[in-house]
């Protein structure tokens, strides 16, 4: 069976371009606005939606994603509500892949089995769980694969050739290359090194390789798109949410459009780079 994620990458390849993966935090700045944002993302040019599951202690995130999580938690977001949002999104969109990204504790407390059942039923396609390295695959990765979900792993500049096979072993859907050693939102120093790293990973896997951390503009996206199968943008989008809010932190008329406008620019940047059709 072809998964939504495979189908989406196949379509992007057929169009001769990289995929745009957009991260927003679920429930930021509130349930209804957040749902409106993800519903608007595909038309704005997003190929894949990464939906951040808020957590009180996001150890691997920079300030923008930390603040987005705090806004969502303050507005009452829970993992249960995030799954409800995915269900609501699926009612109007059967094709755009949705990936939940976050930390293990909320899932662990929800109960792994119950979570996998509810997530699958809601229409979730994959999971990225930052604090579950391959050493802890028994926890969630293997049960998720058995449940038919993709488990997408992060590879980083510290993942050397010796370790890479271990990281890739149970990875499915795509590989997320973290372009810098650092937290989300940190700037990319050298785009040339990113292409080299993607090429290195591709020597070990057939899976698409997407690149994230530090992509803020259409120009950045275009630079990354030259060497990768996809580009992830997150911190810049949640910053767009933040700057659209009123003095009391509430959504305004421009909250959704602040995100979709930036997504449009990023999508245009990616489409400006023609890629050879994959064999």
Partner 1 sequence: MSATAKATSNLNSYRTGPDETGHFGMFGGRFVAETLMPLILELDAAYEAAKADPGFAAEMASYLKHYVGRPSPLYFAERMTEHVRARAASGMGAKIYFKRDELNHTGAHKVNNVLGQILLAMRMGKKRIIAETGAGQHGVATATLCARFGLQCVVYMGAVDVERQKPNVFRMKMLGAEVVPVQSGSKTLKDAMNEALRDWVTNVENTFYCIGTVAGPHPYPAMVRDFQCVIGRETREQMMEAEGRLPDSLIAAIGGGSNAIGLFHPFLDDKDVEIYGVEAAGHGLSSGLHAASLTGGRPGVLHGNRTYLLMDDDGQIKDAHSISAGLDYPGIGPEHAWLHDTGRVTYISATDDEALAAFQLCSKLEGIIPALEPSHALAKVLELAGQKPRDHLMVMNLCGRGDKDIFTVAEHLGGM
| DSSP H helices in the chain | 4-14, 31-44, 63-74, 79-92, 104-110, 112-122, 141-146, 164-169, 191-202, 218-225, 235-244, 255-271
Take residue 138 and report the two structure tokens written for it: 């028994």
Cα separation, 92 vs 87, in Å, equals 9
Q: Does residue 78 bind partner 1 (CB under 8 A)?
A: yes
Closest by Cα among 98, 96, 43 to 267: 43
Q: Which of 58, 227, 234, 269 binds partner 1 (CB under 8 A)?
A: 58
Phi-psi sector, 111: left (phi>0), alpha (psi -120 to 50), beta: left
Smallest separation (angstroms) from partner 1 to the CB of 153: 7
- Kindly tell me which of 111 and 148 has the beta carbon lying closer to partner 1: 111
DSSP bridge pairs for 103? none
- Kindly tell me which of 143 and 182 has the beta carbon lying closer to partner 1: 182
Angle between helices 112-122 and 79-92 in degrees, nearest 10? 20
Q: Is 6 a catalytic residue?
A: no
Smallest separation (angstroms) from partner 1 to the CB of 135: 5
Smallest separation (angstroms) from partner 1 to the CB of 227: 20
Interacting residues with partner 1 between 128 and 187 (CB under 8 A): 130-133, 135-136, 153-160, 163, 167, 178, 181-183, 186
Q: Which of 5, 12, 38, 107 binds partner 1 (CB under 8 A)?
A: 107
Q: How many residues bind partner 1 (CB under 8 A)?
A: 43
Q: Does residue 112 bind partner 1 (CB under 8 A)?
A: no
Closest by Cα among 132, 128, 31 to 85: 31
Q: Is 61 a catalytic residue?
A: yes
Q: Three-class SS of residue 49?
A: strand
- Kindly tell me which of 65 and 251 has the beta carbon lying closer to partner 1: 65
- Kindly tell me which of 6 and 137 has the beta carbon lying closer to partner 1: 137
Cα separation, 147 vs 141, in Å, equals 10
- 47, 61, 137, 229: the catalytic one is 61
Binding site for partner 1 (CB under 8 A): 55-63, 66, 73, 78-80, 103-110, 130-133, 135-136, 153-160, 163, 167, 178, 181-183, 186
């Amino acid at each position: 069976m072809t998964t939504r994620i495979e189908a989406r990458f196949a379509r992007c390849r057929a169009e001769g371009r990289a995929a745009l993966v957009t991260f927003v935090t679920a429930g930021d700045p509130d349930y209804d606005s957040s749902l409106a944002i993800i519903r608007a993302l595909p038309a704005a040019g997003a190929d894949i939606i990464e939906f951040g599951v808020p957590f009180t202690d996001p150890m691997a995130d920079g300030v923008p994603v930390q603040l987005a999580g705090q806004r969502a938690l303050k507005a009452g977001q829970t993992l249960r509500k995030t799954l409800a949002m995915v269900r609501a999104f699926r009612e109007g969109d059967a094709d755009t892949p949705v990936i939940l990204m976050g930390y293990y504790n909320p899932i662990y407390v929800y109960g792994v089995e119950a979570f996998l059942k509810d997530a699958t039923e809601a229409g979730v396609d994959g999971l990225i769980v930052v604090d579950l390295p391959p050493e802890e695959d028994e926890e969630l990765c293997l049960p998720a694969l058995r449940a038919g979900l993709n488990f997408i792993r992060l590879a980083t500049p510290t993942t050397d050739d010796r370790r890479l096979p271990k990281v890739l072993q149970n990875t499915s859907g795509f590989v997320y290359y973290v372009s810098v050693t650092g937290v989300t939102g940190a700037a990319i120093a050298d785009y040339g090194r990113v292409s080299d790293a993607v090429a290195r990973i591709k020597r070990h896997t057939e899976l698409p390789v997407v690149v994230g951390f530090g992509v803020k503009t259409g120009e950045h996206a275009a630079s990354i798109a030259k060497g990768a199968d996809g580009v992830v943008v997150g911190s810049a989008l949640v910053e767009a949410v933040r700057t659209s809010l009123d003095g009391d932190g509430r959504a305004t008329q421009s909250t959704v459009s602040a995100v979709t406008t930036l997504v449009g620019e990023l999508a245009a940047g990616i489409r400006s780079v023609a890629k050879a059709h994959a064999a």
